[in-house]
Structure 1
């Protein structure tokens, strides 16, 4: 589920826009994002397996009886619950984006269809098989990007410079935040801490569960980073410096070296699969986060749990149906995630240092320093953007 949320339409769209607009200059932001994701998701999985609680539930218990405990609950509900409602619009819009281009039907029809499909999957409670099919389609699309990457053969010197020489070309700050937001997805911290409990039940030895979860997390995050690198590189080769603006019509152009005229159809199917899987994951994560924060039942059949994911899904579907510019909607959702990330990461660090809940499995010095570095970098990027917005620089 975390992997399905990681490789969504926002990843494809944002990485394409980054490569088209700035070439390889922002690859450092991708490298940072992959490392940050690995650090935070490992903490999240460890929390869920050791305490058998979700992040928001552990946070609520940690801050119980303190005056700022209520504020923390409010921030979780606002940042993850309301934030995912905005993010959901990007998921649904992204899924509808490709289908609109090959069908001739208006985008709102496909947005409504995606929203209804995601709702049916969540309402059934039996979406595992469908999710596997969607992930298989996403991986198939990813394979094509990787093959195209090998065919494009980007210059290694330029690639290495982009990865290890950080820079922010004029006008690239919001895009860099969006790239971080599409990789280090804040709601995945809440989703992961809850879903690991389903994948590795309490009757399994804790040491084996932790080892398996770390391997699983590392493989999925590594693959996600490689895919994003491939998309950015193929987009840079296809669009950067060409004077051609990226749009819903030509976004599949980067696949043409491998697929030819079939690129647009293949891209549409993959983007739909990625969007639908993410459209399921985002409301589910919001439900886990909000219900855990408020002390409600986190069971899939709980009326309150269903009410939360339904609210997020309806909100996202509504804004996708009324029609916003597709690429703008997805980029806005990713940038919002980048700005929300420091708050969620601080919550996670706070909980992961509680000896009462985690005992010997609490964070060590190195893990805390890595987590703090993630928080500081994301706060810095978000602060720069706010300064720009208010005209102070």
Structure 2
């Protein structure tokens, strides 16, 4: 069995070579390249997104859909840049920072990235455990134990090459997308309000600002920016400059498709929450309350789809978050702790939160605000190195692309500043 799964990655590498050599045509040419962006995309539909999108839809109806659209467009831009850096340099963003920046700066970046990784795993692990506990009528602690085992089993696929975990995560992303497609059929949606909320920016009050920044924190993920460069840099090595140009082209297509799907799912989350809760239950802010309210309003099927998507999201994104944490530590510090120890360490905050009696959904949303405050660090590093001739050579970002990336990063940073000022006042 291990040999057969290893050969799956080898066969994918051969398929990529056939495409690069012009020996494969049609839609089949995209399949071998579907992998890194698919894995990363699960970070954009994780339980943190589900929690913040629930609050956005229930509390503000369709009014914050524009934030979801903006956040996903920014994520798409920066993930494409991250993949570009990995393909051109053959190294992850973390490794480039470690070898190019002064040691104190690199150490500070590692600390911020580790805090973000902890916040990420808190949201993802707790979300999967909540879904499993509610669906199976188990105590939350029991749900956390089962979620830990399932995410660990998913992580073990890394030892069998890159392809098995890509396909498994891709299947779980498909489960999440199908579940929310079903929700849109079961829950009445005001499509005119969807269009207005998507393209007309509004912020009703300061709490809406907090939720909006949480959406950005849940969508533009620091660990995903580091992970994507590592996945593309290590997956397929280009033999020639022509290979590199083709790989960049296919990578951009994969990013648009994978993150486009993630963006649509994110918007479906907000629309479902708005259609289900905004009129009669705007106070709904917790995942458990949403599940218990969905059942009498729209039936057990709607509630079941909701929890199934939450479970699939939590298990897959928790494993991907641990992968990212391993890569960040390895490439910043030059060594990595054993995978089991890393997994254990990142789960501890979740058990502490539950043990202290902190509301799990509110902890999810708070973790997304932490991520939003941390994300400017990798964004700034990514822009700096992607524009650097010494790093990227002829593949550095064009001036219009660099200007767009800088403008997007400044908007995210400005929102964070407004959030901090609002919190202090």
Instruction: Give yes or no for TM over 0.5.
Output: yes
Q: Which residue of 2 aligns with 1:288?
A: 327
Is residue 409 of structure 2 the alignment partner of residue 375 of structure 1? yes
Q: Which residue of 1 aligns with 2:24?
A: none
The runs of 5 or more residues in structure 2 that have no matched partner are 1-38
Q: State the structure with bigger RCO (CA 8 A, min sep 6), 1 or 2.
A: 1
CA apart distance, 1:83? 1.9
CA apart distance, 1:368? 1.1
Give, in whole Å, the separation in 2 of the partners of 1:178 and 1:45.
25
Is residue 119 of structure 2 the alignment partner of residue 119 of structure 1? no
Match for residue 306 of structure 1 among 321, 331, 339: 339
Q: Which residue of 1 aligns with 2:259?
A: 221
Match for residue 201 of structure 1 among 237, 243, 246: 237
Match for residue 218 of structure 2 among 176, 179, 182: 182
Is residue 90 of structure 2 the alignment partner of residue 49 of structure 1? no
Give, in whole Å, the separation in 1 of the partners of 2:394 and 2:293.
49
Is residue 75 of structure 2 the alignment partner of residue 37 of structure 1? yes
CA apart distance, 1:34? 1.4
Is residue 164 of structure 2 the alignment partner of residue 164 of structure 1? no
Is residue 131 of structure 2 the alignment partner of residue 102 of structure 1? no
Query: Which range is displaced more, 112-121 or 343-352?
Result: 112-121
1:275-301, CA deviations, whole angstroms, 9 ceiling, x for partnerless residues? 01111111211221222122x15xxxx
CA apart distance, 1:193? 0.1
Q: Which residue of 1 aligns with 2:5?
A: none
Match for residue 62 of structure 1 among 91, 100, 106: 100
Contact residue 82 and residue 228 of structure 2 kept, 8 A: yes
Give, in whole Å, the separation in 1 of the partners of 2:236 and 2:165.
21
Q: Which residue of 2 aligns with 1:89?
A: 122
Match for residue 212 of structure 1 among 222, 225, 250: 250
Match for residue 348 of structure 2 among 293, 312, 315: 315
Give, in whole Å, the separation in 1 of the partners of 2:393 and 2:49.
37
Match for residue 276 of structure 1 among 303, 309, 315: 315
User: Are residues 305 and 316 of structure 1, via their aligned partners in 2, closer, same or farther at CA, if it must alter by over 3 Å?
Assistant: same
Contact residue 288 and residue 305 of structure 1 kept, 8 A: no
CA apart distance, 1:131? 5.9
Query: Which range is displaced more, 94-103 or 229-238?
Result: 94-103
Give, in whole Å, the separation in 1 of the partners of 2:106 and 2:138.
42
Q: Please list every run of at least 4 consecutive aligned residues from structure 1 whose deviation after the TM superposition is greater than 4 angstroms.
A: 150-153, 253-259
User: Are residues 270 and 153 of structure 1, via their aligned partners in 2, closer, same or farther at CA, if it must alter by over 3 Å?
Assistant: closer
Give, in whole Å, the separation in 1 of the partners of 2:405 and 2:230.
20
Give, in whole Å, the separation in 2 of the partners of 1:14 and 1:224.
15
Q: Which residue of 2 aligns with 1:326?
A: 360
Query: Which range is displaced more, 54-63 or 354-363?
Result: 54-63
